[in-house]
Amino acid sequence: MPPRKRPPANSRFQVRKPADPGVHLEPFLHYLEAECGMAVNTVSAYRSDIVQFLDWYRMQKPVPLSEVDLAFLSGYLQHLNRRKLAATTVSRHLVTLKLFFRYLVLEGVLAESVADLLNSPKLWKYLPKVLSPEKVNQLLAAPCRQDRYPLRDRAILAMMYATGCRVTEIVTLPLNSVKLTEGYARCVGKGNKERMVSLNPVAVAAVEAYLRHERPVLTRRNTTEQALFLNRGGKQLSRVMVWNIVKKNAARVGCSKEVSPHTLRHSFATHMMAGGAEIRALQELLGHANIRTTQIYTHVDHSRLKAVHQMYHPRG
Catalytic positions, written as ranges: 166, 190, 262, 265, 288, 297
Burial class (CB in 10 A: 0-12, 13-18, 19+), 64: exposed
Residue type, 53: F
CA distance 213 to 254: 29
Check: CB of residue 103 under 8 Å from CB of residue 24. Answer: yes
CA distance 159 to 173: 11
Distance from CA of residue 17 to its chain's centroid? Answer: 35
Widest pairwise Cα distance in the chain = 72
186: β partners: 196
Distance from CA of residue 88 to its chain's centroid? Answer: 14
Burial class (CB in 10 A: 0-12, 13-18, 19+), 154: buried
CA distance 79 to 284: 39
DSSP state of 184: E
23: phi then psi, degrees, rounded to nearest 5: -65, -15
CA distance 190 to 38: 7
SS3 state of residue 231: coil
CA distance 304 to 273: 8
Counted residue by residue, the chain has a size of 316
Please name the helix (run of DSSP H) or strand (run of DSSP E) that holds residue 4, with its range, or none. Answer: none
